[in-house]
């Protein structure tokens, strides 16, 4: 069953619908299978390990073996900050971001519904993932990008996997408005995070975290927030396992946004139940450069219901944390991903996070999603003659 999170209106799982017909609010899937957690034993470590919690026909699954991503204990960085730190590395998914989880479920549902064309608006990762999964399923894929504001690594992925890419003059929010209108006319099946089936795949991050921790919740989960689907999806996943009595506690959800693109944080600071959109969002972290997140209401509820937090970080803090994570723990992430580490550092410094807390930071996309930013953050290679003496002189001077 699909249910409106505001007025409670209910819709069939077979209906193509993105927002509530009665009140216009966002929707979510109700999924409460009656199973024991023992059923997951000895299954392959992909997100489909938890297939009973995925509201699609398992005989139609479209998969590239997404999920089962590394869960890395970061002792050096954790000791430096005085916390017990784990990093969930979503850049290890097939196209290099967490979006693959949602697209696996969303494209599976598209096949069930019998559609032949799927589409999205994207700042990069969504388009890269949708293009790959649409190719896997044999569906036509339309991608709308905001002009001049997408990292090259992501744009290359979308085009290389066969998507029909159109660049519109405007920002992400304007691109989403245009393609949503096409979807409402029935011309495409929209797979942005307003589609509730997308978040059903992304909630598996929450499943894996508590499974990786030995069937318990961390004290806190910290992650970047852009369109706000992921924080609400992970909270939904952890809650489903809590309601199934698989775990005994729940985490505090902590969302991090860039200073120039922070409608969720601004709302939390006001204690508001909805956002005031940021008209011209700006940040080097393109994946979270979104001023009017479609899942804002869900994200705010996840933060409030979990007694969580929301904080902003500067672009300089993001870039510093990106390099810090790579050079202290060997984990290379795109700028938006590093927002979770930047937020952790800031919240520890301000005393909002207690020493000794068990923290899971989600890093959402691979370093090579935005190669130009990574290259610009480093020094150029030192040039040297091809002989041992010259090389030795340079090494002594470094």
Give the largest CA-CA distance in the chain: 77
Q: What residues pair up with 173 in beta bridges, in sequence order?
A: none
Confidence grade of residue 151 (pLDDT, cut at 50, 70, 90): low
Residues near 397 by Cβ (< 8 Å), separated by ≥ 6?
Answer: none
> Is residue 349 over pLDDT 80?
yes
Average pLDDT, the chain: 94
The pLDDT of residue 390 is 84
- Map tokens 């744009």 to a residue: 155
Compute and round to an integer the Cα radius of gyration of the chain: 21
* 351-376: average pLDDT: 92
pLDDT digits (tens, 9 = 90+) for 272-298: 999 999 999 999 998 899 999 989 999
Higher pLDDT, 91 or 375: 91
- As a 3-state breakdown, the chain gives helix, strand, coil percent values, each rounded to 5, of 45, 15, 40
Q: What are phi and psi of 145, to 5 degrees?
A: -115, 145
| Predicted pLDDT at 286 | 86
Q: Which of 103-117, 192-206, 254-268, 372-386 is least confident?
A: 372-386
Alpha carbon separation from 278 to 258, 287, 296, 335, 385 (Å, rounded)? 12, 15, 12, 20, 52
Res 198 pLDDT > 90? yes
Q: What is the pLDDT of residue 150?
A: 65
Q: What pLDDT does 149 receive?
A: 59
97-195 and 71-94+198-376 share a CATH fold: yes
3-state secondary structure 121-142: ECCCHHHHHHHHHHHHHCCEEE
Give the model's pLDDT for residue 45. 95
Instruction: Report the alpha-carbon distance of residue 81 to residue 125 in Å, rounded.
Output: 30
Architecture of domain 97-195: 3-Layer(aba) Sandwich (3.40)
Instruction: Note the pLDDT of residue 380.
Output: 83
Question: Is pLDDT at 164 greater than 90 in this prediction?
Answer: yes
Rounded mean pLDDT, 169-181? 87
Residues 121 and 144: beta-carbon distance below 8 Å: yes
Domain ranges of the chain: 1-30, 71-94+198-376, 97-195
CATH 3.40.50.1100 fits 71-94+198-376, yes or no: yes
Most confident of 133-142, 152-161, 176-185: 133-142
Reported confidence tier of residue 375, pLDDT bands at 50, 70, 90: confident
Rounded to the nearest 5°, which phi and psi values hold at 233?
-65, -45
Question: Quick check: 311 and 343 in contact, CB under 8 A?
Answer: yes
Q: What does the alpha-carbon distance between residue 157 and residue 186 come to, in Å, rounded to a whole number? A: 26
Tell me how far apart the terminal alpha carbons of the chain are, to the nearest angstrom. Answer: 62
Residue 91 pLDDT: 97
* pLDDT of 397 higher than 90: no
pLDDT above 90: percentage of residues in the chain: 80
Question: Each residue of 52-103: pLDDT tens digit?
Answer: 999 999 999 999 999 999 999 999 999 999 999 999 999 999 999 999 999 9
């Amino acid at each position: 069953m699909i249910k409106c999170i505001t007025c409670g209106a209910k819709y069939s799982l077979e209906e193509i619908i993105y927002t509530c017909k009665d009140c216009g609010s966002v929707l979510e899937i109700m999924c409460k299978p009656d199973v024991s957690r023992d059923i997951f034993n000895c299954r392959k470590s992909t997100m489909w390990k938890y297939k009973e919690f995925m509201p699609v026909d398992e005989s139609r699954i479209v998969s590239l073996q997404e999920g089962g991503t590394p869960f890395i204990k970061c002792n050096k960085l954790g000791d430096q900050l005085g916390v017990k730190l784990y990093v969930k590395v979503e850049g290890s998914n097939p196209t290099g971001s967490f979006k693959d989880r949602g697209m696996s479920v969303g494209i599976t549902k598209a096949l069930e519904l019998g559609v032949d064309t799927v589409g999205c608006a994207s700042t990069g990762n969504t388009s890269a993932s949708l293009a790959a999964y649409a190719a896997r399923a044999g569906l036509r894929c339309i991608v709308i990008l905001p002009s001049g504001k997408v990292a090259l690594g992501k744009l290359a992925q979308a085009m290389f996997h066969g998507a029909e890419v159109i660049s519109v003059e405007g920002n992400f929010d304007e691109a989403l408005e245009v393609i949503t209108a096409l979807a409402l006319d029935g011309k495409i099946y929209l797979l942005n995070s307003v589609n509730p089936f997308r978040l059903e795949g992304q909630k598996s991050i929450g499943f894996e975290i508590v499974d990786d921790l030995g069937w318990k919740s961390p004290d806190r989960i910290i992650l970047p927030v852009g369109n706000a689907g992921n924080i609400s999806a992970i909270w939904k996943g952890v809650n489903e396992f809590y309601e199934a009595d698989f775990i005994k506690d729940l985490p505090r959800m902590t969302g991090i946004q860039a200073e120039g693109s922070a409608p969720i944080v601004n709302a939390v600071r006001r204690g508001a139940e909805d956002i005031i959109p940021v008209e011209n969002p700006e940040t080097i972290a393109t994946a979270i450069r979104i001023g009017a997140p479609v899942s804002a209401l869900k994200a705010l509820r996840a933060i409030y219901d979990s007694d969580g937090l929301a904080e902003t970080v500067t672009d300089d803090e993001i870039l510093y944390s990106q390099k810090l994570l790579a050079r202290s723990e060997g984990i290379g992430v795109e700028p938006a991903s590093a927002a979770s580490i930047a937020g952790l550092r800031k919240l520890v410094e301000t005393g909002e996070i207690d020493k000794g807390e068990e923290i899971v930071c989600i890093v959402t996309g691979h370093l090579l999603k935005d190669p130009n930013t990574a290259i610009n953050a480093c020094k150029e290679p030192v040039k040297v003659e091809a002989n041992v003496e010259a090389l030795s002189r340079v090494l002594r001077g470094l």
